[in-house]
Structure 1
């Protein structure tokens, strides 16, 4: 009997030791995880307002500020930024419903959406839905990392920090101006001009919903190449907006039947030879996002038309190429630099 009691006491003592060991292991693991997390968190920028000092390739402007070139080779969208109040309300709603419906109600991480996404993925036995908030996506833009669980863990804390530092409207404005699309485009303004060659306020409801759907897979979804695959997603998003009263019945019906009217963007002024001359003859300006030149865009357009008419008159003489240069000799300013057939969009 005494032996049995001793055995029971020994077992209880070992259980206590194992319990203490387990507690210390959990505590040690938690402290290690906390330390590694703190060590790998990256600092947030002091502001979400980008400056032209972030430009790797500057934009060339005429003497009055008219763009002579378009570049999509910078890390950020620097030249097509609009404040949130200039972005149509329907476009904002479309993004919120498509990407982060509870954006104004969470603190950077939507735990409810994460739990729902986890349940759906378990039921489907594959990843069918994500739950990244707009704040987490902004963190991903600011701090690119490999798509791993560890990165997702870090983004959680950085998203919370982001919302503690910046107002919701600032975060949403940054996101809408920098969200990536196909062909190195960033932001809704560049996307609207790339696909429709129009400003945001002139887009139809269907076109606005398309911009919200395309960001789900920018490397795969390109409206100019394949418009049909995104139609079901646009209709589902439109149905949700209709149920909440954001879309009217007539707008929803138009959305179902309206075909896309795609239009490639064009520059108002053709001056690619002059732009190349400026880019190669001037020293680099790593802290400047724009180069102001002496060219006169209005005069350039008139000279271009004049040269093209003259070339047409000379077709019978087999003249196919020509150039026209106008210089203000008093100030040594190049006002016009025209070559037949030119474009200055560097990434189409």
Structure 2
């Protein structure tokens, strides 16, 4: 039986009241809301109390962490280490001094494409959050939970800045599992403070100037220059994406070492930019197809002996901490272009020596094979990690080029490879100078009136025990000339002795003038190394440093003066341009060493030593260009140390070659085969930018004419018969040259070969020999004007085909009269003071 309908409204609405909900008398009961029930009230009270308690606990935990975050001074965000930059004399960057290689820039210099790449990769909601990205935090927590390990991070750019600037990683104590979360909370609070104080652009500027980009590049500018050789403002989009891609793991993604890994990181950034709507799909694919192309410059952070010496001197001026982090600008005297040329020459020329047949020593290539093998054995743990890498034993060289006018260093090479050996052989090692020391012996002699280049010295073999050089038996290169065949003569001029590097004649000259004279001169010349008190010092057995020898040699082109000292740093400014250090500009930058005449006499000998003496291969074989220069070889005993020192009017250059542990290079290794080629290359490079001029003789010096054959003062008949290549037969030529003599020198001996015509001119004219006689030492007899031909002696046809005389030109005045020659007059008591005049013979006419 159906139940009666009691609620037609319910039926109309389509609802039915279940029997269980009906009260007595079929009355429908109202449902009590859950929040009005007693048990809900009790539960709510419990939850509220629990929540308040939990909040109190959280606040109690976070309060000290917030207080800790407040202790960090946000002003420290601006305190970053800045690399001090070294510039060459043209303003080009030569190197850097740093603990962290960093060059800060302004935000305005950063292109928008790099900002897009950075935010897409590191913090997509950077411009929307307030320091902490809660969406990113929740996402990272979910992904990490799903993976069962920490695979995702949620640090924003602001958090990374806080972590790096305040070294928050140090808050994580070893063994404390909660330390990482504590550090994270402090990091969040600091990030919020940063966002409250700084704008987004300021945060990005501080971030980009601070973070690490691998390979000792800190900050975006250092990375741009180090990887691509350009400023950050010039980076392309794919380059910007690459740099931003390596931020997450710079050492593992560094593009110079791992280009494939860097490309994957770059492509990931490009994909993120596409996902963020910053690139279209086609654009992203186009950039991803591009290869990774880096272009690191050679000079940036390049280590070398010259930059290390500049660094050491800068530290001595401004302090180590300031030099490494203060962002100073150090202006050096070095010419980077010349420096590269000299370094290249050292590498090439010594490599050529090592390729010489029969060369038995360790080569540069062999050492690097040994070095690489040692590193591999350490990496594979075959040998202990603290096993020292073997020291190089290959042939070394050092070179130094200075400006003659102020002593500024233009180029310095301290060895073949700075990474193999930091020892600077240009400044730190003393070696026997060998025959490169000889010019100072002659200069000391030329300071005395009785010694001059045409003066004669005995050149016979000398007893080795007399000067005590090397072994008693002697070796090739010890005596005589620096060549395979040792040559001696009875006598030799001082000029020829120095030109040909005759050690026997030099030893005799040194013994005559005395060792104290030589020691005094070299001390004035700037050689501070001690000169031994033995006769062997005349021949260069005492040691000296390359920089001392170069400074001393600059005396000759400077007409007897030298720079006070060598300089490498001209000026230092701070990062705001304020001058911190400036080299003193002296009114007289040069100090006197010897008189101008002695300097020029020695210089004139060194010119010939380069052109026709021991330095002759420079032009004949090694390509030295045709400009005025002078120089001297230096071969030490047993061919252990080789030198060449020389100069132009503008620069002086010295080269040393040898082993760190002294030993013969090879038998017959003269300096003009090993050191001279490097010197020639350096001087050719220097001549492009530093003008070369002839060095003029002193005005107060006396110029005299010297016979080439006798080495004595020339007479009118000093002619020699030579083949006439134009007209055939023979012709007479004047065989003399000019010498600079100190006024007051007793050099009044005249030619005894061509006197009265001699075998030169007389035999040419009349076909008979004239006996050589000793010329009397009375100079008055040779100051009488010679009888000269005024015209032809045969007029008309000459049936005898006689030789015609060579007429000597004479000065005449406007009227055509011969100008009388001034001659010294010897005054003697009782002798009339009247000149001798002879009329010319009349012309002989033949029918």
Normalised TM-score (structure 2): 0.34
- For the pair shown, the structure with the greater C-alpha radius of gyration is 2
Partner secondary structure for residue 250 of structure 2: coil
Contact 1:63 1:293 in 2 (8 A): yes
Contact 2:87 2:331 in 1 (8 A): yes
Contact 2:102 2:218 in 1 (8 A): no
Tell whether 2:331 aligns with 1:292.
yes
Following superposition, the deviation at residue 92 of structure 1 comes to 1.2
Describe the superposition over 1:181-220 as per-residue Cα deviations: whole angstroms up to 9, x where unpaired: 2333222333334444444455443332221121112243
Tell whether 2:122 aligns with 1:86.
no
| Cα distance change, pair 302–220 in 1 and its aligned pair in 2 (3 A) | closer
- Residue of structure 2 equivalent to 1:99: 122
Which one of 96, 103, 123 corresponds to residue 70 of structure 1?
96
Tell whether 2:239 aligns with 1:215.
no
Partner secondary structure for residue 169 of structure 1: helix
Partner secondary structure for residue 182 of structure 2: helix
Give the structure with the larger strand fraction: 2
Give the structure with the larger helix fraction: 1
Contact 2:253 2:265 in 1 (8 A): no
Contact 2:102 2:222 in 1 (8 A): no
Which one of 224, 246, 252 corresponds to residue 256 of structure 2?
224
Contact 2:397 2:416 in 1 (8 A): no
Which one of 37, 44, 68 corresponds to residue 73 of structure 2?
44
Following superposition, the deviation at residue 78 of structure 1 comes to 3.2
Partner secondary structure for residue 255 of structure 1: helix
Contact 2:89 2:333 in 1 (8 A): yes
Q: How does 1:64-213 map to 2 (within 5 A)?
A: 64-71=90-97, 73-74=99-100, 77-79=101-103, 81-146=104-169, 148-213=180-245
Partner secondary structure for residue 259 of structure 1: coil
Contact 1:269 1:301 in 2 (8 A): no
What stretches of structure 2 of length at least 5 have no aligned partner?
1-44, 173-179, 360-393, 420-847
Contact 2:120 2:276 in 1 (8 A): no
Following superposition, the deviation at residue 301 of structure 1 comes to 4.5
| Cα distance change, pair 286–239 in 1 and its aligned pair in 2 (3 A) | closer
| Cα distance change, pair 313–127 in 1 and its aligned pair in 2 (3 A) | closer
- Residue of structure 1 equivalent to 2:87: 61
Of residues 252-261 and 64-73 in structure 1, the stretch that sits farther from structure 2 once superposed is 64-73
| Cα distance change, pair 86–306 in 1 and its aligned pair in 2 (3 A) | same
Describe the superposition over 1:205-255 as per-residue Cα deviations: whole angstroms up to 9, x where unpaired: 333222112111224333334343455554343234235553355532322
Partner secondary structure for residue 156 of structure 1: helix
Following superposition, the deviation at residue 261 of structure 1 comes to 2.3
Following superposition, the deviation at residue 29 of structure 1 comes to 5.6
Partner secondary structure for residue 223 of structure 1: coil
Partner secondary structure for residue 266 of structure 1: coil
- Residue of structure 2 equivalent to 1:3: none
Following superposition, the deviation at residue 305 of structure 1 comes to 6.3
Following superposition, the deviation at residue 93 of structure 1 comes to 0.4
| Cα distance change, pair 340–137 in 1 and its aligned pair in 2 (3 A) | same
Contact 2:229 2:297 in 1 (8 A): yes
Q: Relative contact order: is structure 1 or structure 2 higher (C-alpha 8 Å, sep ≥ 6)?
A: 1
- Residue of structure 1 equivalent to 2:309: 277
Describe the superposition over 1:13-50 as per-residue Cα deviations: whole angstroms up to 9, x where unpaired: xxx99997995675366235303430354423426444
Counterpart CA distance in 2 for 1:152 and 1:18 is: 29
Partner secondary structure for residue 95 of structure 2: coil
Following superposition, the deviation at residue 326 of structure 1 comes to 3.1
Contact 2:69 2:190 in 1 (8 A): no
Normalised TM-score (structure 1): 0.75
Count, aligned residues? 326
Following superposition, the deviation at residue 340 of structure 1 comes to 6.2
What stretches of structure 1 of length at least 5 have no aligned partner?
1-15
| Cα distance change, pair 89–328 in 1 and its aligned pair in 2 (3 A) | same
Counterpart CA distance in 2 for 1:17 and 1:243 is: 47
Contact 2:168 2:187 in 1 (8 A): no
- Residue of structure 2 equivalent to 1:334: 409
Counterpart CA distance in 1 for 2:119 and 2:137 is: 16
User: Over the residues paired in the alignment, what is the CA RMSD in angstroms?
Assistant: 3.9
Contact 1:328 1:334 in 2 (8 A): yes
Following superposition, the deviation at residue 165 of structure 1 comes to 1.7
Counterpart CA distance in 2 for 1:311 and 1:326 is: 18
- Residue of structure 1 equivalent to 2:59: 30
Of residues 180-189 and 264-273 in structure 1, the stretch that sits farther from structure 2 once superposed is 264-273
| Cα distance change, pair 308–159 in 1 and its aligned pair in 2 (3 A) | same
Contact 2:212 2:218 in 1 (8 A): yes
